[in-house]
Amino acid sequence: MPPILKATSVLAAVAALSWGLAGQAAAEEVAQATLYGDMSAVTQTMLDHAGHDGNNFLMTNGNYSQTRFYPNRQINTMNVKHLHPAWIFQTEVKDTMETTPLVVNGVMYVTTAFDHVYALNARTGEELWHYKHKLGPISIYCCGPNNRGVAAYEDMVYLATLDSKLVALNAKTGKVAWQSDIADPELGYSETMAPTAVNGKILVGTNGGEYGIRGFVKAFDAATGKLLWTFNTTPENSVGVWATKDASGQDLHRDIAAEKAALAKGGDPYKTLGGGVWQNPAVDLKANRIYFVVGNPSPDLDGSNRPGDNLYTDSLVSVDLDTGKYACHFQYVPHDVWDVDSVSPAVLVDALDNDGKLVPAVLHGGKTGFVYVNDRRDCHLIRVSEAMVPQENMYALPTHGVGTRMLPGANGGVEWSPMTVDPALSLAYAINLHQPMHYSVKEAAYPAGKLWLGGAFSVIPTEQQWGNVTAVDYNTGRIRWQVKTAQPMIGGIMATAGGLVFTGEGNGLFKAYDSQTGSQLWQFQAGAGVNAPPAAYSVDGKEYIVVGAGGNAQLDYKRGNAIISFTLN
């Protein structure tokens, strides 16, 4: 289908529906308008069609494919210059903000640092309720008291907390329906991700790769909070094939003989090997499988006591949705000793394989600066994109003392920031960091739940840092366009059928670019770092773009507490 036609027909459907309802119902009821479902709860059907729902934003990355592609085009390249704030909501917590607002039938759900949840009227920004999670005595996390949002399912919203609990809240009142333990926070497990809701299950991974955890993805029963299955991201045999090269064919400089000796002496390190999963899995409903990426091995920089490839760290993994059983995996960086792991969530697209055939594919933007394109069926690699940031001295081993200079730095490339895809253009958009770092190693034994880096990655203060927004054609791996930004970028990005991509910066600028060319069409100064992924929705036939401006703990961008919703006139 020609792209323009497709977008137009979706718009027409959305517009027809909202206007139709507006004509016959009172304003209050219009606020409840939605394409699918019974207008009071989030049904599985609504979630299945989230990618075509121009009214709602139903999950953190927009839809199960995680394209973050919003199908309405009322706000577009022609009129985006008139975009202005419709309302600003200020939360009680002025700290690092990574939330993606969800919008369900005119109600918005946002979260803040330290696990607060707010329900807001999406038209006015008026507060409907506020839930403040009472954190237990122990919460251990490396990189700020972050939270990335809730999942919505039926009549509940779900929050995963810094003290590693899963909390189900009544979506209408914010009252706790149930709470389950995910893992023991004393051992360094914590939660910052929004859960994923699908087919009666709530899926959640874990943080803790800096603490020697054993990573996992767990599925809980959405109604009761009962644990249904656990997939451990570090299998009991984590050794693998002693790979000497990364996915792009570059040498990893491993000392395989020394590793084999360490294995003979210490055994398989899987129990404290890390492998956090702290971004959402993509869901392939047809194959009944989920796809997620697994984070770094523990300790980050010292590989001496974790011999082998360290499966499935730094990998793409697919498991069965119903059982959590392994389906396939692909490791991007075997035996990582730089923390150049896989964090940015997997995105499902149809892409051309190397014979020019359209195949079900999965994309990932790496800290390495590559976009990886894999075949969804068996996880094999189709291609690696051009590097989006400078790579220098790649995979030089960390040394004692000051350390080795290598690019990219340990934050990427692409950090956790989700990518977005415009399927009609076959472009994936990623935001990147350029932060030259020294990588140093210091051997240290497992410290039982304390920070376990095995060395340090330190920004080189004399070198310039910057960021960029990059559009990559995933059918060729080539960069279509690239725009440099003043600072390293972290947060996320969203494309719309209006021909736009939206993303924010640490200096407070929130910008719209032409998704075909990268030319900047609009910007707004939010007054604090815009380091959260944008979302979009429509109420009463009016489109809004919404984003959090609360800065970022990890890169120390100016903190704030605003949720800003933008619209035209």
Are residues 205 and 324 in contact, defined by beta-carbon separation less than 8 angstroms? no
If the CB atoms of residues 144 and 491 are measured against other proteins, the closer one turns out to be 144
- Distance (Å, rounded) from C-alpha 188 to C-alpha 452? 10
Q: Say if residue 413 is preceded by a cis peptide, omega within 30 of 0.
A: yes
Name the minimum Å distance from CB 211 to other proteins: 11
If the CB atoms of residues 20 and 447 are measured against other proteins, the closer one turns out to be 447
If the CB atoms of residues 200 and 360 are measured against other proteins, the closer one turns out to be 200
CA torsion, points 553, 559, 563, 565, in degrees to nearest 10? -110
Dihedral sign (CA 37, 43, 49, 51)? positive
Name the minimum Å distance from CB 553 to other proteins: 7
If the CB atoms of residues 145 and 508 are measured against other proteins, the closer one turns out to be 145
Q: Give the binding site for other proteins (CB under 8 A).
A: 135, 137-140, 176-181, 186, 224-227, 442, 444, 447-448, 450-453, 456, 553, 556
SS3 of residue 11 by DSSP? helix
> What number of other Cβ atoms are within 10 A of residue 442's Cβ?
15
- Choosing from 339, 341, 422, 473, which is the catalytic residue? 339
SS3 of residue 185 by DSSP? helix
If the CB atoms of residues 523 and 554 are measured against other proteins, the closer one turns out to be 554
Distance from chain centroid for Cα 289: 18
Name the minimum Å distance from CB 94 to other proteins: 10
If the CB atoms of residues 186 and 350 are measured against other proteins, the closer one turns out to be 186
Are residues 553 and 96 in contact, defined by beta-carbon separation less than 8 angstroms? yes
If the CB atoms of residues 133 and 383 are measured against other proteins, the closer one turns out to be 133
> What number of other Cβ atoms are within 10 A of residue 483's Cβ?
18
SS3 of residue 28 by DSSP? helix
Name the minimum Å distance from CB 444 to other proteins: 5
**Per-position DSSP letters for 341-406, written without gaps between them:** ---SPPEEEEEE-TTS-EEEEEEEE-TTSPEEEEETTT--EEEEPPPSS--BSTTPPPBSTT-EEE
Distance from chain centroid for Cα 323: 23
Are residues 34 and 43 in contact, defined by beta-carbon separation less than 8 angstroms? no
Name the minimum Å distance from CB 163 to other proteins: 8
Name the minimum Å distance from CB 220 to other proteins: 8
If the CB atoms of residues 271 and 442 are measured against other proteins, the closer one turns out to be 442
Whether residue 540 lies in the annotated active site: no
- Distance (Å, rounded) from C-alpha 179 to C-alpha 195? 14
**Helical (H) or strand (E) element with 7:** helix 3-24
- Distance (Å, rounded) from C-alpha 489 to C-alpha 416? 10
Name the minimum Å distance from CB 130 to other proteins: 18
Name the minimum Å distance from CB 133 to other proteins: 13
If the CB atoms of residues 39 and 227 are measured against other proteins, the closer one turns out to be 227
Q: Both ends of the chain: CA-CA distance in Å?
A: 33
SS3 for 253-285, per residue?
CCCHHHHHHHHHHHCCCHHHCECCECCCCEEEC
Name the minimum Å distance from CB 453 to other proteins: 7
φ, ψ of residue 141 in degrees (nearest 5): -150, 150
- Distance (Å, rounded) from C-alpha 155 to C-alpha 419? 29
Q: Say if residue 189 is preceded by a cis peptide, omega within 30 of 0.
A: no
If the CB atoms of residues 90 and 224 are measured against other proteins, the closer one turns out to be 224
The strand order across the sheet containing 315-320 reads 282-284, 289-294, 315-320, 326-331
- Distance (Å, rounded) from C-alpha 431 to C-alpha 439? 23
Name the minimum Å distance from CB 391 to other proteins: 27
* Catalytic sites, residue numbers: 339
